């Protein structure tokens, strides 16, 4: 885990202290080539602001959209992205890998 990842968690904590609603998205599994290792994280607030990275830019947009839902419902969600999964998601990974991401609300 890198210094950059810790700064994502520090940002999430700082946002929460400002009174913002925050979600965390974490890469929990990868198959094939994946741009970010397992454990990489993204912090998202209710307005869709985000810091960090879970894919190097390929699927962040979709993760942010889902995270805003998770902030509203409070229920965690597990997402999966891959090139073969076009029917479920319009976005995919150009590198040909597949990743699973866990999204949870900070509460």
Partner 1 sequence: MKKSALDRLLEDRRERRAVAMVTALDTGDQRMVYLDDVGAEGDLAAPLAEAFARDKSQTVEIGGAEHFIHVFNPPLKMIIVGAVHVAQALIPIAEATGYAVTIIDPRGAFATEQRFPSVRLYDDWPDEILPDLDVDHRSAILALTHDPKIDDPALTFALKSSCFYIGALGSRKTHAGRRERLLANGFSDADLDRIHGPIGLDIGARGVAEIAVSIMAEVTRSLRQGAEAGA
Which residues ranging from 29 to 48 are in contact with partner 1 (CB under 8 A)?
29, 37-39
Please tell me the distance from the alpha carbon of residue 107 to that of residue 29, in angstroms, as a whole number: 24
Q: Give least dist CB 18 to partner 1, A.
A: 12
Q: Tell me the per-residue interface mask from 76 to 105 with partner 1, x by CB under 8 A, - otherwise.
A: x-x---------------------x-x-x-
Q: Does 6 bind partner 1 (CB under 8 A)?
A: yes
Helices and strands (H and E) in the chain: how many? 2, 5
Taking the least distance from each CB to partner 1, the nearer of 89 and 102 is 102
Which residues ranging from 60 to 79 are in contact with partner 1 (CB under 8 A)?
75-76, 78
Q: Give least dist CB 106 to partner 1, A.
A: 6
Please tell me the distance from the alpha carbon of residue 101 to that of residue 24, in angstroms, as a whole number: 10
**Where are the extended beta strands (E) located within the chain?**
22-31, 41-45, 50-52, 77-82, 98-106
Place of tokens 């993204």: 42
Please tell me the distance from the alpha carbon of residue 93 to that of residue 106, in angstroms, as a whole number: 27
Footprint of partner 1 (CB under 8 A): 1-4, 6, 9-10, 12-13, 16, 24, 26, 28-29, 37-39, 75-76, 78, 100, 102, 104, 106-107
């Amino acid at each position: 885990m890198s210094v950059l990842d810790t700064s994502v968690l520090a940002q999430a904590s700082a946002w929460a202290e400002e009174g913002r609603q925050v979600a965390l998205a974490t890469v929990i599994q990868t198959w094939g080539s994946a741009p970010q290792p397992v454990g990489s994280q993204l912090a998202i607030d209710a307005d869709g602001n985000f810091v960090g990275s879970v894919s190097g830019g390929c699927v962040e947009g979709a993760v942010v959209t889902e995270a805003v839902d998770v902030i509203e419902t409070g229920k965690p969600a597990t997402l999966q992205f891959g090139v073969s999964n076009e029917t479920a998601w319009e976005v995919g990974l150009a590198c040909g890998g597949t990743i699973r991401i866990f999204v949870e609300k900070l509460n």
